[in-house]
Structure 1
Amino acid sequence: MVDVTRTFTVATPPRDVQEYLADFANAREWDPGTVLCAPLGTGPVGVGSRWRNVSKIAGAETELTYELTRLEPGRVVFVGRNDTATSTDDISLAPADGPGTTITYHATIEFQGAAKLAAPLAKVVFEKVGSDTEKSLTRILGATV
């Protein structure tokens, strides 16, 4: 299993951050590995909404179906699945000491079958992805002073 956590502060208020992050289609803008992220279905975003996500990480392309499994004030959780992995993105939001939002982004990836052998290398790769994601979200949602 790979486990990566980042905590950082952005200038945007929590409610706006949550609205932005809850629509996983926006991952194209902030997730450095995402090549495509398209909604599966129509209607407003809410628990049960799903997206087809294609990512390219360390030269390998993979596709997962993500589902919004939890959406409540201060919390957004997505679970992505395919035949070889389950990825959980658990995002907590809190008002910052000054203006803005403190984001704690916790990602876990559980590999199945032979893919488990890749976990040690994947940890190194996903630590870099975590840092790049933090940089992207800070750029998009505004750096704090």
Structure 2
Amino acid sequence: MVSVERSMVLRRSADEVLRYLADFGNTVEWDPGTESCVRLDHGPVLAGARWRNTSRFRGRLTDLDYRLEEYRPDGLVFVGQNRTVTATDDIGVRAFEGGTRVVYRASLRFHGLARLAAPFLRAEFERLADAVAERLPRVLAQG
């Protein structure tokens, strides 16, 4: 398994940040690896909502079907899957000094032969986590 974590402070209210991040379709704005993210169901964004996320990783496109597993006042948990990986994004959101502290944790559990590659992919996932920590505050500062 590969896990990364980043913490950032945003100058928006915790409620605004939580609502924005709960719509996983917004990853196209703040996750530099995401090429597209399309909602697979309809209605309000609640636990159980689903998206298909297409990301570019190491030059290849890959699709993961994500589900919002938890929608809490202090955070969100998304789980995405395909045949080679299960990705869990655990996003903590708390009021902090007139803004919001976001703690973003991403864990990837590889399946089958892909497990052998996990140790060699850590540096790339660290780089992507750094890019998220840079981009998310910038995106929310504009909106």
- State TM-score, norm by structure 2: 0.97
SS of match in other structure, 2:42: coil
1:35 paired residue number: 35
User: Residue 27 of structure 2: SS of its match in structure 1?
Assistant: helix
Q: What displacement does 1:78 show?
A: 0.1
The aligned residue for residue 26 of structure 2 is: 26
How far 1:42 sits from its partner (Å)?
Answer: 1.0
Report the count of equivalent residues: 142
In the alignment, structure 1 segments of 5+ residues that lack a partner are none
1: CA distance, partners of 2:121 / 2:34 = 16
The corresponding residue for 1:132 is 131
Deviation at 1:142, TM superposition (A): 2.5
Where does structure 2 lack aligned partners over 5 or more consecutive residues? none
CA distance in 1, matches of 2:51, 2:33: 15
State the distance in 1 between where 2:79 and 2:121 align.
18
Look up the match of 1:9: 9
Q: How does 1:1-145 map to 2 (within 5 A)?
A: 1-96=1-96, 98-142=97-141
Q: C-alpha separation between the residues in 2 aligned to 1:12 and 1:58?
A: 33
Aligned structure 1 segments of 4 or more residues deviating by more than 4 angstroms: none
Classify the secondary structure of the residue corresponding to 1:45.
coil
What's the C-alpha RMSD, in Å, of the aligned pairs? 1.0
Residue identity in the other structure for 1:83:
R
Percent identical pairs in the alignment equals: 43
